[in-house]
Amino acid sequence: MTVSTITLNDGATIPQLGFGVFLVDPADTERIVSDALEIGYRHIDTAAIYGNEEGVGKAIAASGIPRNELFITTKLWNKAQGTQSAYDAIDVSLGKLGLDAVDLYLIHWPSPAQDKYLESWLALEQIKADGKARSIGVSNFQLPHLERIIAGSDTVPAVNQIELHPAFQQRDILNFGAANGIHIEAWGPLGQGKYPLLELPQITEIASAHGKSPAQVVLRWHIQTGTIVFPKSNSRERIAQNFDIFDFELTADQMASIDALDSGKRVGGHPDEVK
């Protein structure tokens, strides 16, 4: 199975489908990430706050997969924002991952109450210059946050990782990203089970038409929309199923049907409020 790739604004390429480890128990992380790597995933998305970077690192080391075939992302947690603390945080993450550099380092949330995200972004520029991150980006940034760091630095983020699923499509951020060369990554691509997305007739009818599961249909919608997506699961069977989305294509009418599900339903925290 060949996973499609996207070229970022700094020339790096990223697999469009990855595997996320949000809420994966640290004790189970090595086994679960090993399963994902055996199935064929080469893009792993973790974060300092997840507490499972060490398990990701152990799975990478045990896999025997050449480092240049993997794309590894981690994130700077809110309480580590600031210049020196960001430098310290990347070193801690690299130590846990057992890596000399990550492929992508993100500011996890803007945390505007701290008002350190521009300072942190300038630190990420230096972290990239030092070779500890090949690409840098942000997560959960709204338009004012993006505009501020672009105006105050020399680097446009390579990606913005945001909550994105059929009921919450954030088209203003997608459009801004398209206009400014910022690729969008979708977290919670299946709505985190917080609404009955996979039971909606608009989804189940498309799934029946293609002989696929509702989750596969939604992930395929993400791929055809152009977003970078990384579902998570603790089940090897489900991990494999989520990977099997490159042998069918949604029609324009099917895409439009899913597009029409946008209702502004956020299931996670608002970026202006997360501290």
Sheet (strand 133-139) strand order: 19-20, 43-45, 71-76, 102-107, 133-139, 159-163, 183-187, 228-229
DSSP 168: B
Q: Whose CA is closest to 108, among 76, 136, 79?
A: 76
Backbone angles phi and psi of 163, in degrees to 5 = -60, 125
Q: Whose CA is closest to 206, among 266, 242, 249?
A: 249
- Catalytic residue, chosen from 41, 50, 105, 117, is 50
Q: Is there a contact between 104 and 71 (Cβ–Cβ < 8 Å)?
A: yes
Q: Is there a contact between 137 and 104 (Cβ–Cβ < 8 Å)?
A: yes
Q: How many residues does the chain have?
A: 275
87 labelled catalytic: no
Q: Which string of DSSP letters, residue by residue, matches 1-51? A: -PPPEEE-TTS-EEESB-EE-TT--HHHHHHHHHHHHHHT--EEE--GGGT
Pairing of strands 5-7, 13-15: antiparallel
What positions carry a catalytic annotation? 50
